[in-house]
Structure 1
Amino acid sequence: TNLTSGWNSTGITVAGDAGGSSSTAANRLNQPYVLRFDSSIALIISDTANQRIQRWIIGNSSGTTIAGQANGTAGSSFATLNSPIGLALDSSDNMYIADKSNNRAMYWANGASSGSMIAGTGNKNKKSLFCIAFTLPYPRLLAIKSSEHNLHVIEKCIVK
């Protein structure tokens, strides 16, 4: 027997606006960066320019804000985010978020209304862009290895 594979070359929008419009509405995204599936196969999306993490159940017409502010307000408190880019989930659907413009990595327990800083400074001061131990300048991507309780972070810094 010959096996063949293919895909729908037209594409199907499963989250956001099919026309590409962005806003802070629950049915829109603005610069989605990282997608993950949680244990129930819902999409978890870092909605970067809306300063939030959205949970989108496949087939629904809108998402739910599960981290950050639904209205797209950036901030530096533990209940807000500022350009969340990287996103990792552990086996309990707890989130690890690279909060780029706050220069920090956040831990956000599943169902919590705020997170906690687990690495970085939380300082938006651009001077922290230089490579100094423990500053975590502009964290981008995260990966977690649950079996070893290790979190790996990719950051951007200037070496002088």
Structure 2
Amino acid sequence: MQWSRRSGTSKGKVLIDKIFCYGLAMDDQKYLYVTDIAQNAVRRYKIGEKNGTLVAGGHGAGDGLNQFDEPIKIFVDQQQAVYISDNRNHRVMKWNKGATAGIVVAGGQGQGSALTQLFTPIGLVVDALGTVYVADTWNSRVVSWPKGAKQGNIIAGGNGEGKQPNQLQYPVDLSFDRHGNLYVVDWDNSRVQRFSIK
């Protein structure tokens, strides 16, 4: 759905339908990227287009480098590379523009709590240096994976599930402000937390 911020209307315009979408992102050229959980794919749409272009996945559910098993959230960088949290494969995939397969940039070592693993990742952000920040949901932590790293670093949570300020309970999304503060949707605690990341 699309709503105009200027019109003051409560009616939205359907842009894409018949899709089981969970995540979306827009690039600098105003293309809309959408995850389709039912098709295990990511499609790119020009506003007004109904079919879109397949940019990642679309080869059925699986753990191959050209597959997903429940793609959830998405991030698109300046080069139109697409990063996807591949939820049931416990990994984050990067698909460069025009690629026919992705590369694992975080996790991919099965579900678990080791620093080489993720457990149902959902929200993600990628900075200008290529560091991937992941809401590692069932591990109740946020992990950063510098470009090319074989393991992540815990930057928030990771102190067991709980309600204390240094704890998270199923984080599902995250964002940074221009000052480098990290904001985390701490889902099961019904709160948003802010962390100062140095």
State the TM-score, normalizing by the size of structure 1.
0.82
Q: Structure 2 CA distance, aligned partners of 1:90 and 1:6?
A: 26
CA contact (8 A) 1:97 1:106 kept: yes
Q: Structure 2 CA distance, aligned partners of 1:22 and 1:91?
A: 30
> Are 2:117 and 1:80 aligned?
yes
Given candidates 66, 70, 91, the residue that maps to 1:52 is: 91
> Are 2:68 and 1:29 aligned?
yes
Q: Which amino acid aligns with 1:142?
A: L
Q: Which amino acid aligns with 2:184?
A: V
Aligned length: 145
- 1:97 aligns with 134
CA contact (8 A) 1:48 1:83 kept: yes
- 2:55 aligns with 14
Q: What is the CA-CA distance between 1:66 and the residue it aligns to?
A: 0.8
More strand per residue: 2
Name the SS for the 1:8 alignment partner: coil
CA contact (8 A) 1:30 1:48 kept: yes
> Are 2:175 and 1:156 aligned?
no
Q: Which amino acid aligns with 1:42?
A: A
Name the SS for the 1:13 alignment partner: strand
Extract unaligned runs of 5+ from structure 2: 1-45, 191-198
Q: What is the CA-CA distance between 1:92 and the residue it aligns to?
A: 1.4
Given candidates 108, 115, 139, the residue that maps to 2:171 is: 139
Q: What is the CA-CA distance between 1:31 and the residue it aligns to?
A: 1.1
Name the SS for the 1:87 alignment partner: strand
Extract unaligned runs of 5+ from structure 1: none
CA contact (8 A) 2:79 2:97 kept: no
- 1:120 aligns with 157
**Identity rate, percent:** 31
CA contact (8 A) 1:131 1:157 kept: no
- 2:5 aligns with none
Q: Structure 2 CA distance, aligned partners of 1:121 and 1:110?
A: 21
Q: Structure 1 CA distance, aligned partners of 2:97 and 2:79?
A: 10
> Are 2:143 and 1:106 aligned?
yes
Higher relative contact order (CA 8 A, sep 6+): 1
Following TM superposition, the consecutive aligned residue runs of length 4 or more in structure 1 with deviations greater than 3 angstroms are: none
